[in-house]
Chain A
Amino acid sequence: MQTENAKDIIVCDGVKKWFGDFQALKGVTTTVKEQEVVVVIGPSGSGKSTLIRCINRLEAHQEGTIIVDGIELSNDVRNVEKIRSEVGMVFQQFNLFPHLTVLDNITLAPLWVRKNPRAEAEQVGMELLERVGIPEQANKYPGQLSGGQQQRVAIARALAMKPKVMLFDEPTSALDPEMIKEVLDVMKELALSGMTMIVVTHEMGFAREVADRVLFFDYGIIVEDGTPEHFFTNPQHDRTKLFLSQIL
């Protein structure tokens, strides 16, 4: 998926983040290249979700720099809105807008943030629903859909903004087991199409199959950084070995 000499799209340098007295990120430095698929794994509370929430500034980091697509994240609201419209995010709890139909969920941001004409926005919306396999649900409300379908709508909603990067925050953790596959299939298809993705997940199968790189987080730092083969067959750190022995 990743091509040679791809340009850096996300650069994190010494990112630190505190919640009160608790330090969630203790200096994270990493770079994501265009079309790269990075899977972030690690025990809960290790700071992996915090990192991707910092990348589109749902949380503000306190030290270090994050540069997304050439723009440094700061307190400037315009910069933040610009970056957010280029970075799609999919949440664990889907967070669809329950008062809008599926199609309206998808077209809302293209209409009002991108200011696209309605006809165009709706056409793109329907195409995306086709892509995630549920065009027939366009006029239903999120509450009438299964969890897997809702998460697929959430992915379509993020894609409608034509983002350069997609962030996934444990996209399958709130799903019933039989629905996880339908969401992972959509994500695989997305990765193969060349989307830059950062995925926080516990799905080791997905990491092994799709990831270009695996980051292992613990206690707010990147413990292990490498290809899936390296990570699953030849981890360097004891902490990684312990983690893998517990989950595999």
Chain B
Amino acid sequence: MADKSKIILPDIEEYAPEPPPKGPVVWAKDNLFYSIASTILTVVGAAIAIVFVGGMVGFILAPERKWEAITTNLRLLMIQAYPQEATWRIWLSLGAVLVLLGLSLAFWHAGGKTEPRKVGRSLAGFGGVVALVVVVAPFSISGRVIGLVVGAVMVTAGLGVVRLLGERAKESTIPTLVIIAIVAGLVIAALWVLKVPIPDPEAGAGQSRLQSIAATTTGPWTLLYLATIAAYFLGTVLRRVIPERTGRLALMVSWALSFPVIVLHLSRGVEFHGVGQYALVGLGFAIVGGAIIWTLADPVRGELGRGLAGLLLVLAIVSWAVSALILVRLLLLLLAMFALGGPTFAGGARETRTRYVLLWAGAVVITVYLMLLSTGVSVVATSNETVFGGFFLTWILAIAGIALSFPLGVVLALGRTSTMPIFRLLSTLYIEVIRGVPLITWLLVSVVVFPIFFPLDVSFVAPVKVTLFIAFFSAAYLAENVRGGLQSISKGQTEAASALGMTTLQRTVFITLPQALRAVIPALVGQVIAIFKDTSLVAIVGLFDILKIGRDIIPTQTQPFNFLGSMREALLAVAIIYWIFTFTFSRLSLRLEEKLGVGTR
């Protein structure tokens, strides 16, 4: 009686007879030419594909193309004017992120299994495409021969794998992570081996010498690759030593902190002036605040605790209107939040309250550290505020924009579905106003209008201003997506949570929100991709993102090389770079959906 579904389903799959293999002719007849209309569609589609691929590859291969405009400008495209002597900071940051990634992959047991048969099939298919392209596109005779040989080798190898495994194909699997590591390793190896002509100013105009595409970065990339793999194995060891739950919590906190720490380290030096004052303020808040939280969260306070916590929030908000140390304002706000959450998350047993107060102390330390970082002197010696540029700027804007817009969007969605009319009205108003105006307009508002709302002693650099407005803008769209998710949760879920005595906050945090977010993952990923691409609009307020560089800088370079008229090459390259990442996002979201889908229905 138990586990009926579990027993029956795999059986059917396992014992179902394999369909007899079909020959290519039969396959084509069944799939491409099964009716007159399908035949016409197949022929027309193939013709369009041939013309398009031929034209595209022809464009790329044409002798007058200045691809060296891209290969010599890769640094500019990636990090624009970031000072050469500080580049190690970027590598270090990237390294930190990849090490975190490696550890996280281990702790979350990421990556499934892949059948080698499928890898073999993709390899063969890819080889077929290579062969087809060299035939269709205007390659030279020798180019065609090389292409055909490469294609044939790939097809043979791929089909060989499929044939060899044949019967045992179902049982033998390899971890997907291994395949990803191998592919990444091949790309890194290619950086060392493959040489392309790069213009050489010392040899005179029009002269070039063969060099690896990323000559100066081959070493760092290799190191990062090895560090990621090492971190993964370190993670597999660590997860046996420390409890998985603790490890995951530590990693999540690290991820949350990594972005502010990295951005601050990239722009500021750690120069601890005023460290004494900051430490004192921090210590005071940690102790007094801890005592306040401890007292207010005590269940004997009851409603009074919540009331006093609300008063703290009012005090914190008022502190922003009067003159006070920014650190004090921030810590007051944080304290109010902790005090408000206290009765819900820490009321009751002594040990949960102790843990909550320790959490508060940790939050104080982190806030003080970040504030110290942000008041340090700029390490990157530039005269203006656009030290962040290129693809690097795209990432910073996208990550910060997404990180800020998610909480805001969720709050707006909750507000719009709230039963309290004032929240509903405010949220609806915000969403409709923000969505009704184009992003470009908001970006202009961010640099032209926004600053006049602040006192003279408060000013933000351009990247911060545009980040805020990208976040405001995308939060309105996110809110609508999340609202859809919230409305899809059945009433029974909230009733069941209520019947267990959970408060509204607990119901939202543990029951409705997690399910609502899961339900709308595709829409959320669409929003992430949209933000990622929309960052290119910041060119309108004078920031140099990768698209601006590709469109306006590279095609106007005349010294030391003449790259005039290379706009099409640059735009194509930028498009490909964007596509690689957005495509990866959408693949990852599919995996995420599969993985989280386990729980639903």
Q: Which residues of A contact B (CB under 8 A)?
A: 56, 58, 78, 81-82, 84-89, 91, 93, 95-100, 108-109, 112-117, 134, 141-144, 146, 149, 154, 157-158, 161, 178-179, 182
Contacts and interface: CB of A to CB of B under 8 A. Distances in A.
Main secondary structure of the interface of B (DSSP, over half): helix
Interface stretch (B149-157, B403-411, B490-498): B490-498
Given A58-B495, A78-B303, A98-B599, A149 B2 contact: yes
B495 A95 contact: yes
Contacts of A146: 2-5
Given A95-B492, A95-B495, A141-B598, A182 B1 contact: yes
B581 interface: no
B354 to A, nearest CB: 12
Interface string B323-346: 000000000000000000000111
B1 to A, nearest CB: 7
A109 B349 contact: no
Given A112-B345, A146-B5, A85 B518 contact: no
B500 A85 contact: yes
A153 to B, nearest CB: 12
B6 interface: yes
Nearest to A96: B496
A178 B303 CA distance: 49
Contacts of B5: 144, 146
Contacts of A88: 499
Given A78-B302, A117-B349, A89 B511 contact: no
Contacts of B596: 99
A32 B348 CA distance: 31
Interface of B: 1-6, 302-303, 344-349, 351-352, 490, 492-493, 495-503, 506, 510-511, 514-515, 518, 596, 598-601
Nearest to B502: A113
A118 to B, nearest CB: 9
Contacts of B492: 91, 93, 95
B499 A84 contact: yes
Nearest to B501: A85
A97 B501 contact: no
B299 to A, nearest CB: 8
Given A81-B503, A143-B598, 14 more contacts: A56-B499, A81-B501, A88-B499, A97-B497, A97-B510, A98-B599, A100-B599, A113-B506, A117-B351, A117-B352, A143-B599, A146-B4, A149-B2, A178-B1
18 contacts: A58-B495, A58-B499, A81-B503, A91-B496, A95-B496, A97-B493, A97-B496, A98-B601, A99-B600, A109-B500, A109-B502, A112-B506, A113-B506, A115-B347, A117-B351, A117-B352, A146-B2, A161-B501
B349 A99 contact: no
A58 B5 CA distance: 34
Given A95-B495, A98-B599, A141-B598, A112 B502 contact: yes
B352 A134 contact: no
A84 B501 CA distance: 5
A234 B584 CA distance: 73
A58 B498 contact: yes
Contacts of B496: 89, 91, 95-97, 154
Given A99-B514, A115-B349, A108 B1 contact: no
A91 B495 contact: yes
B503 to A, nearest CB: 6
Contacts of A86: 501
B357 to A, nearest CB: 15
Contacts of B515: 97-99
Nearest to A113: B501
A71 to B, nearest CB: 13
A52 B303 CA distance: 28
A89 B501 CA distance: 11
A84 B499 CA distance: 5
Contacts of B498: 58, 84
A115 B502 contact: no
Nearest to A142: B599
Contacts of B2: 134, 146, 149
A95 B501 contact: no
A19 B427 CA distance: 30
Contacts of B495: 58, 91, 95
Contacts of B497: 97
B309 to A, nearest CB: 16
A113 B600 contact: no
A125 B296 CA distance: 30
Contacts of B3: 146
A114 B500 CA distance: 10
B348 A114 contact: yes
A143 B600 contact: yes
The 8 closest A-B pairs by CB, nearest first: A115-B348, A85-B501, A95-B496, A109-B500, A89-B499, A95-B492, A84-B501, A99-B599
A94 B2 CA distance: 18
A94 B344 CA distance: 26
A91 B352 CA distance: 31
Contacts of A89: 496, 499
Nearest to A88: B499
A93 B490 CA distance: 11
Contact of B601 (A56, A143, A182): A143
A161 B352 contact: no
> Which of A98, A141, A143 counts the most B-chain CB atoms under 10 A from its CB?
A98
Nearest to B352: A115
Contacts of A95: 490, 492-493, 495-496
Contacts of B349: 115-117
B500 A157 contact: yes
Nearest to B496: A95
B304 to A, nearest CB: 12
Contacts of B518: 99
A193 B84 CA distance: 76
A82 B500 contact: no
B520 to A, nearest CB: 13
A81 B495 CA distance: 12
A144 B501 contact: no
Contacts of B6: 144
A179 B600 CA distance: 22
B355 to A, nearest CB: 10
> Which of A93, A98, A112, A144 counts the most B-chain CB atoms under 10 A from its CB?
A112
A56 B500 CA distance: 10
> Which of B346, B348, B493, B496 counts the most A-chain CB atoms under 10 A from its CB?
B496
A141 B499 contact: no
A84 B498 CA distance: 7
